Amino acid sequence: MVLVAGTGMTAFNRRKDGSGFRDWAEEALREALVSAKLGRGDIDALVVASESDFFSMQLNPASVLADDIGLAGAACQRVEGGGASGQLAVHAGVAMVLSGSARRVAVVGFEPSASYLSGAAVSELYGYSFDAWTDGMTGISATALYALSAKAFMARCGANHDDFSVISVQNRENARDNPKAHLPLEITQEEVRESLMVSDPYRRLDCSPLSDGAAAIILTDPNAAPADRKNAARIAGIGAANDRVRLGDREDPGLFKAKQVAAKRAYALAGISEPARQIDLAEIYDAYSGAQLQAIEALGLSNDFLKEHRSGGFSPSGRLPVNLSGGLMGQGAPVGATGVAQVAACAQQIEGTYHTGLQMRKPPRHAVADTHGGIATTCAVTVLEGSGN
């Protein structure tokens, strides 16, 4: 068993105040330590998540951050897996606690993906996060690749852009009650449909923003947690898997197969045999609106995901709320911080301490956090549960 003893995060936005990722990491960790009722000297190890050195202009950021935030002597490492970096860093921290190599681990994710480079430069770099030879160097964009996958998904299951636009509206609406969100918007489906076409079926309002920010959690062995944190939310299961990098090499380019595998591994460890019945909350990697629906299918969160989506089953008042934080589209998407922030949100929901207006009336018994790199190429899934389960 591994407890999420503390959580912290900065606002996710576009920074114009002269601060940098080192400042944000310090801010997020400080908040997490206060939440965990621990000091820096109590931390045995630091795991850092960051997708790209091009964004931070810092090789070996784990050592630099360990120095900055006063963790001299702690074991430190950096984890990178594209969009899955933050979730994989959480998994690395869990493994350290379970192995006995560390009793208390700080996991810090960050990304300066909005303020340092131009949007065009960031788009080009994201192209290299797929297969640089066959994709990135040809000039194809991440949006175009996601769009191809979405079109295959739509053709197979009968989804349409109206299904996607509901997600665009809902996640931005959820973000309006999140004081740390990047894009808290009140928009309509018509505004989504009329926004600039980027790559069919995706329009501008179907896309998540480029964001700056950091998030942190403190993972502990139950015996190493402060007395009043021993009932904190806990990590019940983790799972990861990969798929073929190029969409054309996949049997079904619209199916997030690796996410299915990762989820099954996480559910098995957590003792979840019926995720559609047992999972009460999900924080999902919605880099694009359709990707959220593709993920709901792959995670096995519904026995009829399209019908349930159309009936409001994944809305804040539905059977299984999805992305109450606002997700990437609403809360924001500093890549290395995203998976860490998802786990933090799930832990806070379970403990009943999430943002006013977004906290579930009945705290979830089980929650799932899901991220991926590429087009669901590198997938990582985490299951959290309450101490009473």
Mean pLDDT of all residues in 17-28:
96
Mean pLDDT of all residues in 26-39:
97
State the CATH architecture for 2-117+211-229. Answer: 3-Layer(aba) Sandwich (3.40)
Q: What is the structure's pLDDT at 50?
A: 96
Q: Which helix (DSSP H) or strand (DSSP E) does residue 125 occupy?
A: helix 119-127
Q: Per-residue confidence at 189, pLDDT binned at 50, 70, 90?
A: very high
| pLDDT tops 90 at residue 313 | yes
Q: For 135-157, what is each residue's pLDDT tens digit?
A: 888 888 899 999 999 999 999 99
Q: Per-residue confidence at 350, pLDDT binned at 50, 70, 90?
A: very high
Q: What is the structure's pLDDT at 129?
A: 84
Mean pLDDT of all residues in 252-277:
98
Q: What is the structure's pLDDT at 275?
A: 98
Region(s) of the chain under CATH 3.40.47.10: 2-117+211-229, 119-208+233-385
- Strand arrangement, sheet containing 234-242: 75-79, 45-49, 104-112, 212-220, 2-9, 234-242, 378-385, 366-373, 281-283
Structure-token match 């400042």, residue found: 23
Q: Per-residue confidence at 105, pLDDT binned at 50, 70, 90?
A: very high
| pLDDT tops 80 at residue 388 | no
Q: Give me the chain's average pLDDT, please.
A: 96
Q: Per-residue confidence at 345, pLDDT binned at 50, 70, 90?
A: very high
Mean pLDDT of all residues in 109-122:
88
* 316 Cα distance to chain centroid: 18
Kindly state the tokens that stand for 195: 């926004």
Percent of the chain at pLDDT above 70?
A: 100
Q: For 215-239, what is each residue's pLDDT tens digit?
A: 999 999 999 999 999 999 999 999 9
Q: What is the CATH number of domain 119-208+233-385?
A: 3.40.47.10
Through-space distance between the first and last CA atoms of the chain, rounded to whole angstroms: 12
